[in-house]
């Protein structure tokens, strides 16, 4: 019997109520596999739906049971890539950012359970009506794209709206057992963490980026659309992305019209920068950076987060400190 048994662990046969956020390319096959192997739910970050990358990521996960997350508006424009996802026999499909109903219908036709990440109560209602097995309530604290609401009131509001039987996860700003315990108290059945798993051994990304994550705090992050324009990505403007501030962002954050006016030149300047030049390139991460000081393995993160939460919920009352390493 797992220490923290919830409807989420029961539904997916997990040891811990913890999912890996499908961080575009960063949540590759190795990280997703490591989280699943540790008893959580590993989700590959399929991002903007590139069929060849997706096929390779599932291959790298080997025979470990992993799911995949897609950015809805991009997946709807890439039916071929979505077909690749369905044919990869994912353990679950996560959809986020847009009207995912057609994707839910297609996944259910293959008996693939769906997690729908939402940023508002209205979206949660839509996800429920579409029959999503899991609603992921994402607070604005989260790294990457998201909405404007904080998790603290959004999650219990979704619980009140959805009733007692809907499986709900909390995401955004969670990096240790305190966050997991708090989400369970708010009415959630588990958590989905991104930023914490980015600063981890198995994440796909340059060491210099991971090191920077351990040295940066939440105050240095901001929600912005600057990098969407810089990368030429057609994001609906109600979604902004939380990133670490840098020179490129500071130049344009308060002058989006100016950036749009010079989009071509700035896109070229962005693309020409070295992949690891984080004075220009986007380092995507959330407010939870304050809580992250080390680069442990995914299994250590899963185990420590769950153990800490169980201790708190069993009456420890006070967090005793420490990081996830």
Ligand X SMILES: Cc1cc2nc3c(=O)[nH]c(=O)nc-3n(C[C@H](O)[C@H](O)[C@H](O)COP(=O)(O)O)c2cc1C
* Binds ligand X (CB under 6 A): choice among 12, 24, 67, 310: 24
Number of residues in contact with ligand X under rule CB under 6 A: 29
293: its two tokens: 């000081």
Task: Give least dist CB 221 to ligand X, A.
Answer: 10
**Residue choice 66, 68, 71, 226 for contact with ligand X (CB under 6 A):** 71
Q: In what order do the strands lie in the sheet with 134-138?
A: 18-20, 190-193, 167-171, 134-138, 114-118, 93-96, 67-71, 43-47
35 is a contact residue toward ligand X (CB under 6 A): no
- Please give, one letter per residue, the 3-state secondary structure of 304-319: HHHHHHHHHHHHHCCC
45 binds ligand X (CB under 6 A): yes
The C-alpha atoms of residue 112 and residue 101 are separated, in whole angstroms, by: 14
Using rule CB under 6 A, residue 224 touches ligand X: no
Q: Which is nearer to ligand X, 25 or 316 (CB)?
A: 25
Binding flag, residue 174, ligand X (CB under 6 A) = yes
Sole window of 12-20, 54-62, 142-150, 232-240 interacting with ligand X (rule: CB under 6 A): 142-150
Within 294-323, the residues that bind ligand X by CB under 6 A are none
Q: Which residues fall within 8 angstroms of residue 259, CB to CB, at 6 or more apart?
A: 226, 229, 230, 252, 266
Look at strands 190-193 and 167-171 and give their pairing. parallel
Helix ranges (DSSP H) in the chain: 7-12, 29-37, 51-60, 72-76, 79-87, 101-109, 121-129, 151-162, 177-185, 195-198, 207-215, 226-230, 247-252, 256-261, 263-272, 298-311
Q: Whole-angstrom Cα distance, residue 298 to residue 284?
A: 19
Q: How far is the CB of 316 from ligand X (least distance, A)?
A: 23
Q: What is the DSSP letter of 38?
A: T
Single out the residue of 28, 42, 172, 190 in contact with ligand X (rule: CB under 6 A). 172
Q: CB-wise, 277 or 316, nearer to ligand X?
A: 277
Answer yes or no: are the C-beta atoms of 288 and 143 closer than 8 Å: yes
Among 9, 88, 119, 138, binds ligand X (CB under 6 A): 138
Q: Is 198 in the site for ligand X (CB under 6 A)?
A: yes
142 binds ligand X (CB under 6 A): yes
Tell me how far the alpha carbon of residue 138 is from its chain's centroid.
9
Min. distance of Cβ 31 from ligand X in angstroms? Answer: 11
Q: Does 289 bind ligand X (CB under 6 A)?
A: no
Q: With binding defined as CB under 6 A, does residue 179 bind ligand X? A: no
Query: Least distance from C-beta 249 to ligand X, angstroms?
Result: 15
Q: Could you report how far apart the first and last alpha carbons of the chain are, in Å?
A: 24
Closest residue to ligand X in the complex (CB): 194
Residues 96-125 that bind ligand X (CB under 6 A): 96, 117
Scanning 121-129, 135-143, 272-280, 294-302 for contacts with ligand X by CB under 6 A, the matching segment is 135-143
Binding site for ligand X (CB under 6 A): 21-24, 26, 45, 47, 69, 71, 96, 117, 138, 141-144, 171-174, 193-196, 198, 284-286, 288
């Amino acid at each position: 019997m797992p220490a923290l048994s919830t409807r989420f662990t029961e539904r997916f046969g997990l040891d811990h109520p913890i999912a890996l956020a499908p961080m575009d390319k960063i949540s590759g096959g190795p990280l997703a596999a490591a989280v699943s192997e540790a008893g959580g739910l590993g989700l590959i970050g399929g991002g903007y739906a590139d069929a060849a990358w997706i096929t390779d990521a599932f291959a790298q996960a080997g025979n470990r049971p992993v799911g995949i997350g897609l950015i809805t508006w991009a997946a709807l424009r890439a039916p071929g890539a979505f077909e690749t996802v369905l044919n990869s026999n994912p353990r679950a499909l996560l959809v986020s950012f847009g009207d995912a109903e057609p994707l839910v219908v297609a996944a259910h036709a293959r008996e693939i359970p769906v997690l729908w990440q939402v940023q508002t109560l209205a979206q949660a209602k839509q996800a429920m009506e579409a029959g999503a097995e899991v609603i992921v309530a994402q607070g604005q604290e989260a790294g990457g794209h998201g909405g404007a609401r904080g998790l603290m009131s959004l999650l219990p509001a979704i619980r009140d709206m959805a009733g007692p039987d809907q499986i709900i996860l909390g995401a955004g700003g969670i990096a240790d057992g305190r966050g997991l315990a708090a989400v369970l108290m708010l009415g959630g059945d588990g958590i989905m963490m991104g930023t914490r798993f980015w600063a981890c051994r198995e994440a796909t990304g340059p060491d210099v980026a991971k090191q920077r994550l351990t040295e940066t705090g939440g105050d240095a992050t901001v929600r912005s659309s600057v990098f969407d324009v810089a990368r030429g990505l057609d994001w609906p403007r109600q979604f902004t992305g939380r990133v670490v501030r840098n020179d490129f962002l500071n130049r344009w954050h308060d002058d989006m019209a100016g950036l749009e006016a010079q989009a071509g030149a700035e896109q070229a300047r962005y693309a020409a920068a070295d992949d690891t030049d984080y004075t220009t390139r986007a380092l995507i991460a959330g407010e939870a950076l304050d809580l992250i000081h080390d680069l442990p393995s995914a299994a250590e993160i899963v185990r420590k987060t769950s153990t800490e939460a169980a201790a708190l919920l069993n009456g420890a009352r006070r967090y005793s400190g420490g990081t996830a390493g």
